Amino acid sequence: MRRPDAPPAIISLVPPLTRTSPNSAARNAGLALALGLGLALGLLISNLVATQVAAMLVSGMAFMMPVLLLSGMVFPVESMPAILRWISMVVPARWYIAATKAVMIKGLGFAGIAREFSILLAMFVGLLAASLAKFRTRLD
């Protein structure tokens, strides 16, 4: 049932996050890690550029197309040439999509997505550390 004060987009996100299943903890942890990774990347971009317009251009043009093409969301990673498969390994969305497919389609839990989860966690820590280091230098 739809609440009259909540927008439909928010309501459509609530049931998958609140529905309990054996793999819901893995799904929610992966989602939280992917959101944190996106925030860390945004923080790094905002520390590297001078204006908001430049940050929007960098994030839109430099990251949107590679994420769409190399993440496996549009084209399967397995059917890409070898060089593109190697490049796609640094795209965080590739690992998030692989983990989401494993959880949602195969019904796997944390044990099934441990590799993807650890890669995303390493990317998150690396991006956050780089953005905090750049932030400190920018303050000085």
Residue 34 has pLDDT above 70, yes or no: yes
108 within a domain of the structure (yes/no): yes
Q: Which residue has the tokens 């940050």?
A: 55
Q: Judge whether 74 lies within some domain.
A: yes
pTM: 0.75
**Total structural domains in the chain?**
1
Q: Is residue 14 part of a domain?
A: no
pLDDT higher than threshold 90 for residue 136: no
Count the helix, strand and coil residues of the chain and give each as a percent rounded to the nearest 5.
Answer: 75, 0, 25
Domain membership flag for residue 11: no
Residue-wise pLDDT tens digits, 54-103: 888 888 887 888 888 888 888 888 999 999 999 999 999 899 999 888 88
| Domain around 90 | 26-139
